[in-house]
Amino acid sequence: MKQTALKNITLTAGLACILAAPNAQAIDWVSGQVGDWSVGSNWDGGSLPTLSTLARFGSGAGAGDAGGEEASINGIAALADRFIIGQNTPNPTFTSKVYLNSGSLTTDGTTQHRIGQSSEGWLTVNGGTLDMQNAGYSSDAGGRLIVNGGDVNIGGISTVGGSSAGFLEVNGTGMTIDVTGNYNFGAFGTAIFTLDSTLAGVGVVNNSAILNLNATSTLTVDFRGYDFSANKGSDIVLFDYGTLGSAQEFGTINFIGGYGELDYTTGGQIRLLSVVPEPSSTALLGLGLTSLLLRRRR
């Protein structure tokens, strides 16, 4: 069991220049385009990716391009052999974003997907199903897998922040996150959990293989939307896992709006115990109750 202290957090995204040659024909998203995945004109050549092609984002942006690009999946069955979100060596400040809002994104390649490769990339799951049937993913260069809802199935080995900043963000409940292969939080890896206000818990990462935690990796838990009064005394499970690797604790723990004890010792789970609001919140609550009593006396 590890006792942690209240901390504030500032997240910074590092950059890396790591290039991986695709093993399938690449279809590039039109640089700087904001639009729907299912529209052919949003892709170079006018054709949508298939299970035999690589869906690539950011590779067409030049050094003078600003901002970024966005692709949305809305109610369709999107396909790719694999994807790279954020492959832009000329302009590392260019951000590529893919939103899965409904429908599905299915891949069947055995080569690792990239969320942030040489420039920043985000994959946000708001609903629907993300199904990486055979491969896992890596996130570097500020790459983020953000899960707000839906179902996420990750096959193969995955690494968060192995060579530069990478993030897993899990917000609230109402989703499933299943990881088949080893899940590695590297030296630059950060896991962020934002707790739900209605339930005693959060969307749990279910990892059936080995969970590896680098000694300098980071865990952040945001309590600001959590109802402490309704969930008093409840433990919060963050990870279910098969086995812990050699490094068995996150190197840095950041709590926002509350604090507690982090328990790594319960078999197959990482849990938060004795969760309480930060002192300032408790003091404000007491002050409010005192004011209410004084008003009633008057």
Percent of the chain at pLDDT above 70?
84
Distance between CA atoms of residues 96 and 30, nearest Å: 11
List the Cα angle 49/57/17 in 5-degree steps: 135
What are the start-end ranges of the E strands in 81-227? Answer: 82-85, 95-107, 113-115, 121-125, 129-132, 137-139, 143-147, 150-154, 158-160, 166-171, 175-179, 183-185, 189-194, 205-213, 218-222
Place of tokens 């934002």: 194
pLDDT of residue 143: 97
Distance between CA atoms of residues 52 and 79, nearest Å: 9
- Most confidently modeled of 68-72, 87-91, 258-262? 68-72
Place of tokens 């500020």: 142
Average pLDDT, rounded, for the chain: 85
Q: Could you report the per-residue pLDDT of 50-65, keeping only the tens digit for each?
A: 999 999 999 887 666 7
Ranges of H-type helices in 85-168? none
65 to 84, 92, 115, 150: CA distances (angstroms): 19, 10, 20, 33
- Most confidently modeled of 20-34, 193-207, 253-267, 268-282? 253-267
pLDDT of residue 65: 74
72 to 33, 103, 104, 188, 190: CA distances (angstroms): 11, 11, 11, 28, 25
pLDDT of residue 296: 44
Chain CA centroid to CA 43, Å: 26
Inform me whether the pLDDT recorded for 202 exceeds 50. yes
Residue 252: which residues within 8 A CB-CB, separation 6 or more? 216, 217, 218, 219
DSSP type of residue 66: -
Inform me whether the pLDDT recorded for 19 exceeds 80. no
Distance between CA atoms of residues 265 and 248, nearest Å: 9
Q: Could you report the per-residue pLDDT of 104-152, keeping only the tens digit for each?
A: 999 999 999 999 999 999 999 999 999 999 999 999 999 999 999 999 9
DSSP type of residue 41: G
